[in-house]
């Protein structure tokens, strides 16, 4: 069972204690409750807890909510003159309906109407808007988007390799956008506890930077809600919530997961009040999860953390600005994902370099060299100590148990984990080691790799509290009830209490590094023991290699056939840039047969003079192992029928490698864009006849749409009608971001909409975007993949 799933039980228990304290009139002892949440909880209690979190039956009083049956759209729409609401739901398919923004007037008062589907119909959240609010107009909503794009551009301009700088910048941007007194970045660690890693605040407020808090402070049920509804606003934690009145025919309370008005749980509202935070805005930070967690081949998404704004008085942020903040978070998530991948790659390189050096030592020295020389096994993963137990002898490094204690640990491992290949724990006490208390705080966590049945590698970590520092932890000695009240200080104390006999958890990447070294050492130790196992394995290798070569040959022949008959132009060169691969399609386009093409120089003989420099650059990059995508090349043509007609292709270039992994050439996979190029060239030459070109029925005219200065659709040609299934009359005047691409043409995930919004606003500002990958679902639900070029005109 995963840590997150196990945490649901702990959360449910804590919730029950809070509810019982309210019913009995007793005060809720926060720290004591956190320490005693390991008790088992009945399954029905967990179900009731999750239902209460998602179907609480109350909303915040700053707006009102209506739920209607989707098929009938009965009474409330006529009562509130919501005839426009139907237009927000063109898509009746399986796609999730995004929030739909509209404002209307009832008794002269403007509202924001935010709509979403639930299991029993459609929920409309109505938020009153001030008449002077500039965001009420389309221009105002677009201005919010522009502010977000400016903040996103700032994030993207930051130097890579600095996650702290990225987090520091995003809190400043969100605080500037929203005006909250304090904005923080919360990071969730692998053991589910949280940490404040960045903060921007009013000068007189106590700092929370560096604060760690238990996993129960932000329950798993709440984290699930943040993944479903990525922006959460609480306007006033002191405000009395409003009970939802619903049809008695409904079998359960209304689902409020997607509602912008969902009331805060009593426990959370009390926590906010105790810390002096009356209003809050919480933004989910979503990154790519592990591929194995994905469903049906789709990549999973993981809640990395939250960006949270706190205000010391009631505060309302209009929906368009919250929507802009959501775009900013999507861009932040993308940027953070890249930085985390970069950090992971750098860590892997460091680990591989250390492993290589350790292996080199093993070749030159006895196995003890990995603890007696530098680098040592301590350099492989973050630890306070490490040790080798080899042939009954103990070789310790750093903070480690005594020799007597390590022998006792070895005996315990053999007795209780003898069938295992290793063990990792952040608490030897929780792992069941009887002598954990005698080790004290110095050794709490341990990772061990079995090399042979009696030889072991150990890594040790001290207690977590040694690593934790919080600037606000030592202040306010007058807070006598800190341990009982729900407050950041009591969270910090509760966290330290929970982890006092624990180390920082061992990360998956660290265990992978340990396991890799374990496999290497097993072979080395067998060799050192005079094992002849390697010679035994060599007997059938020749036969296996022959069989493998025959299979590879068969696969290679099939690959050659597929390439030769492909409808895309494909060609290849050797390391000197001479053609050694030329399929039928590129031969058809250029008029140059396979026999004639072989041996010609790509740069000097095949590509047009205008593309020579670019082709040369592609070759150099690919021969260095760097791949280029979506690069336009102009190719010469040969033969009488191709006289003076050049061919334009967009190519991806990648290196070709032999069986020893050496680069032996470059392969180009292309797409013929000659027709589109000819049309665009004509357009450039006769700009004055722009509309004639755009609306020409000529099949070579590409799909074209245009935007006015407010990011609303001002042009929608015949080709884009055919591509999307949506008519020009339906699209003109609608917002391109959210309405057209988002509601009508569904995009594949929120990240796609963020990227489209950035490209659109950059183009409006005069910054062109060329061949931007753009995919969406058309009106019938078919997935369309295209390349988008955006230019200001």
Q: Do residues 459 and 444 make contact, with C-beta atoms less than 8 angstroms apart?
A: no
Weakest-pLDDT range from 537-546, 679-688, 730-739: 537-546
Residue 736 has pLDDT above 60, yes or no: yes
Quick one: what percent of the chain has pLDDT higher than 90? 26
Angle between helices 163-178 and 319-364 (to 10 degrees): 170
End-to-end CA distance of the chain: give it in Å, rounded.
57
Which of 146, 155, 328, 138 shows the shortest CA–CA distance to 231? 328
Please tell me the distance from the alpha carbon of residue 571 to that of residue 608, in angstroms, as a whole number.
Answer: 16
Q: Residue 378 corresponds to which tokens in the numbers above?
A: 């301590």
Taking residues 635-648, report their average pLDDT. 76
Mean pLDDT of 630-635: 89
Q: Quote the percentage of the chain above a pLDDT of 70.
A: 72
**Which residues, including other chains, have CB under 8 Å from residue 274's CB and lie 6 or more apart?**
485, 486, 487
3-state DSSP call for residue 743? coil
Confirm if 592 and 598 have CB atoms less than 8 A apart: no
Segment 90-105 shows an average pLDDT of: 40
Q: Give me the pLDDT at residue 93, please.
A: 38
Q: Could you tell me the pLDDT band of residue 793, with boundaries at 50, 70 and 90? A: confident
Average pLDDT score over residue span 638-657 = 79
Rounded to 5°, the CA angle 244-250-251 comes to 110
101 pLDDT higher than 50 = no
Confidence band (pLDDT; 50, 70, 90) for 19? low
CA distance 724 to 743: 12
Please, what is the angle between helix 750-764 and helix 138-156, to 10°? 100
pLDDT of residue 487: 60
Nearest to 306 by CA among 179, 170, 493: 170
User: In the structure, what pLDDT confidence band is assigned to residue 292 with cuts at 50, 70 and 90?
Assistant: very low
User: Containing H/E element for 572?
Assistant: strand 570-574
Written as one string, the DSSP assignment of 333-363 is HHHHHHHHHHHHHHHHHHHHHHHHHHHHHHH
CA distances from 565 to 135, 568, 587, 599, 674 (A): 55, 9, 11, 21, 20
* Average of per-residue pLDDT across 346-353: 80
Q: Give the closest residue to 524 by CA, choosing from 534, 515, 514.
A: 534
CA 398 – CA 378 distance, rounded (Å): 8
User: Is the pLDDT assigned to residue 343 strictly greater than 90?
Assistant: no
* Per-residue pLDDT reduced to its tens digit, 464-478: 765 565 544 444 444
- Contact at 8 Å (CB) between 21 and 27? yes
Q: Does 375 sit behind a cis peptide bond, omega within 30 degrees of 0 on the bond before it?
A: yes
* pLDDT band (50, 70, 90) for residue 568: confident
pLDDT, tens digit, for every residue of 619-629?
999 898 888 88
Of 235, 238, 241, 239, whose CA–CA distance to 310 is shortest?
235
pLDDT at res. 446:
95
At 363 the pLDDT is: 63
- Per-residue pLDDT band for 448 (boundaries 50, 70, 90) equals very high
Residue 684, CA distances (Å) to 442, 633, 671, 690 in order: 73, 19, 22, 9
Exposed, middle or buried: residue 21 (CB in 10 Å: 0-12, 13-18, 19+)?
A: middle
Whether the predicted pLDDT of 31 surpasses 60: no
- From the list 491, 490, 508, 502, the residue with the least C-alpha distance to 445 is 502
Residue that the structure tokens 């072979």 belong to: 523
């Amino acid at each position: 069972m995963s840590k997150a799933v196990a945490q649901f039980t702990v959360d449910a228990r804590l919730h029950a204690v809070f509810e019982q304290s309210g019913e009995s009139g007793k005060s809720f002892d926060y720290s004591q409750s956190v320490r005693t949440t390991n008790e088992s909880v009945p399954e029905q209690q967990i179900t009731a807890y999750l239902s209460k979190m998602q179907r609480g039956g109350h909303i915040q009083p700053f707006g009102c909510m209506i739920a209607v049956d989707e098929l009938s759209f009965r009474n409330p729409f006529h009562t509130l003159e919501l005839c426009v609401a139907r237009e927000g739901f063109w898509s009746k398919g399986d796609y999730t309906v995004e929030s739909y923004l509209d404002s209307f007037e009832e008794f002269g008062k403007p509202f924001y109407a935010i709509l979403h589907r639930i299991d029993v119909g459609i929920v409309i959240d109505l938020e009153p808007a001030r008449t002077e609010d500039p965001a009420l107009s389309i221009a105002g909503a677009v201005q919010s988007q522009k502010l977000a794009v400016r903040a996103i551009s700032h994030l993207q301009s930051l130097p890579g390799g600095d996650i702290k700088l990225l987090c520091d910048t995003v809190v400043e941007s969100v605080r500037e956008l929203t005006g909250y007194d304090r904005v923080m970045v919360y990071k969730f660690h692998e053991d589910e506890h949280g940490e404040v890693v960045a903060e921007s605040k009013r000068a007189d407020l106590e700092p929370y930077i560096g604060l760690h808090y238990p996993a129960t402070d932000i329950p798993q049920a709440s984290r699930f809600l943040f993944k479903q509804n990525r922006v959460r606003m609480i306007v006033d934690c002191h405000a009395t919530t409003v009970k939802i009145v619903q049809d008695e025919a409904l079998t359960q309370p209304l689902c409020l997961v997607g509602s912008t008005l969902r009331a805060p749980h009593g426990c959370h509202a009390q926590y906010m009040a105790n810390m002096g935070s009356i209003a809050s805005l919480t933004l989910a930070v979503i990154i790519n999860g592990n591929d194995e967690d994905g469903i049906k081949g789709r990549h999973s998404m993981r809640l990395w953390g939250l960006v949270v704004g706190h205000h010391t008085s009631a505060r309302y942020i209009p929906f368009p600005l919250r929507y802009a903040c959501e775009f900013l978070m999507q861009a932040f998530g993308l940027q953070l994902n890249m930085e985390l991948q970069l950090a992971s790659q750098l860590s892997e390189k460091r680990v591989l370099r250390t492993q290589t050096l350790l292996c080199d030592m093993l070749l030159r020295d006895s196995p003890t060299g990995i603890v007696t020389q530098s680098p040592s096994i301590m350099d492989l993963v973050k630890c306070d100590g490490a040790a080798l137990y080899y042939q009954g002898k103990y070789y310790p490094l750093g903070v480690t148990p005594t020799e007597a204690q390590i022998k006792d640990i070895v005996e315990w491992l053999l007795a209780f984990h003898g069938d295992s290949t290793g063990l990792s724990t952040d608490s030897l006490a929780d792992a069941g080691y009887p002598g954990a208390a005698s080790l004290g705080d110095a050794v709490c966590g341990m990772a061990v790799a079995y090399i042979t049945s009696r030889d072991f590698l150990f890594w040790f970590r001290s207690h977590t509290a040694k690593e934790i520092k919080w600037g606000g932890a030592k202040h306010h000695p007058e807070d006598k009830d800190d341990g009982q009240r729900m407050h950041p200080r009591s969270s910090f104390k509760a966290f330290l209490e929970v982890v006092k006999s624990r180390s920082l958890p061992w990360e998956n990447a660290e265990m992978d590094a340990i396991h890799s070294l374990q496999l290497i050492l097993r072979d080395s130790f067998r060799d050192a023991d005079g094992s002849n196992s390697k010679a035994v394995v060599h007997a059938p290798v020749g036969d296996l290699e022959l069989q493998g070569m025959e299979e590879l040959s068969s696969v290679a022949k099939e690959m050659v056939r597929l390439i030769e008959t492909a409808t895309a132009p494909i060609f290849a060169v050797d390391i000197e840039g001479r053609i050694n691969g030329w399929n039928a399609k590129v031969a058809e386009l250029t008029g140059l047969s396979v026999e004639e093409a072989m041996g010609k120089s790509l740069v000097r003989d095949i590509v047009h003079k205008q593309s020579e420099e670019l082709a040369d650059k592609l070759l150099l990059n690919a021969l260095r192992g760097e791949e280029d995508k979506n690069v336009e090349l102009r190719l010469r043509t040969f033969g009488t029928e191709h006289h003076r007609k050049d061919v334009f292709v967009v190519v991806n270039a990648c290196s070709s490698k032999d069986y020893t992994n050496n680069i032996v050439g470059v392969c180009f996979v292309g797409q013929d864009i000659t027709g589109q190029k000819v049309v665009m060239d004509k357009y450039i030459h006769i700009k004055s006849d722009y509309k004639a070109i755009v609306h020409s029925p000529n099949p070579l005219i590409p799909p074209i749409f245009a935007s006015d200065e407010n990011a609303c659709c001002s042009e929608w040609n015949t080709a884009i009608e055919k591509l999307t299934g949506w008519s020009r009359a339906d699209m003109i005047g609608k917002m391109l971001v959210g309405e057209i691409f988002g509601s009508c043409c569904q995009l594949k995930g929120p990240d796609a909409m963020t990227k489209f919004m950035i490209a659109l606003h950059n183009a409006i500002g005069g910054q062109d975007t060329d061949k931007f990958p753009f995919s969406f679902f058309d009106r019938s639900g078919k997935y369309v993949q295209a390349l988008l070029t955006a230019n200001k005109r």
